[in-house]
Amino acid sequence: MKDKAYKVLAEQLGISNKKAKELIDRGLVYVGDRKVQIARGEIDTKTKFRVKKIEQPEVIFEDEKVLAINKPAHVTSEEIKRDSGYELIHRLDKETSGVLVLSKDKEFRKKAVEEFKNQNVYKEYVAWVEGIIPEEMTIDLPILTVKKDGRAKSRISRSKGKEAITHITPLEIHGKKTKVKAVIKTGRTHQIRVHLARAGHPIIGDTLYGGKPWERMMLHSKRMKLLNYDFEAPEPKEFNIR
């Protein structure tokens, strides 16, 4: 017998259908090592699920002007904003972890947004990608972002895209996977994800852009230098692939 995945999960955990759907949509529900992608997808009612626990956000730094958070994967930037009560200066994708900066002060936020606009912010990420990247490379391809039904997806467009530059440095190779440092001068939606996918090295777990399913999308915002601040978030334990 089959039923919708969220209904089967709700029955097993003794929770509401709404809560079960939310867990699946967050990317927290697995069958074995495979993530359940579609809450309304049909699944065998005897299927046994595994639900991943969300890590708690950690404060990296705080003063009278700014709050820097180490955002866990599966949590949205908007949820961090809501819970903190402060304004976002930038955003991270839901499954991207790492440095997220919020402003407590209107004047500081104005200055910070201007720094982003003028490309004066240092943004360093780490990612595990598919395939072997043997040497440094710079990807300079314009990106066009299209939003539909509240969701964004980007692609390379030489005619309509905006400037996007990503510097890639290989850090470690394990099997047929490479850990890379990605430094972005620009900050287009899904920039690192789109650039690496176009280079033939999609980020592990980034199924939107051709990556193979994984526990999470393996992209982490490690360091940001903004105005006189320098924030750094330690890599999550799951980045230690062995």
Chain mean pLDDT for the chain: 93
Query: What tokens appear for 9 in the block?
Result: 């999960």
Domain match, 79 and 199 both:
yes
Side-chain half-sphere exposure of 187, counting CA atoms within 13 A: 19
pLDDT one-digit tens code per residue, 48-77: 888 888 889 999 999 999 999 999 999 999
User: Which of 33, 63, 83, 93 is an active site residue?
Assistant: 93
Domain match, 106 and 31 both:
no
Query: What tokens appear for 167 in the block?
Result: 């510097």
**Domain containing 14 — which CATH number?**
3.10.290.10
Domain match, 47 and 62 both:
no
- Evaluate if residue 2 carries a pLDDT over 90: no
**Domain count of the fold of the chain:** 2
Q: Residue 181 to residues 44, 61, 141, 150, 151: CA-CA distances in angstroms? A: 41, 23, 18, 30, 27
**What is the separation of C-alpha 106 from the centre of its chain, rounded to a whole number of angstroms?**
27
Domain span at residue 16? 2-51
Domain match, 145 and 30 both:
no
| Catalytic annotation present for 3 | no
Domain match, 127 and 39 both:
no
Residue 143 confidence class, pLDDT cut points 50, 70, 90: very high
pTM of the model: 0.86
pLDDT one-digit tens code per residue, 84-100: 999 999 999 999 999 99
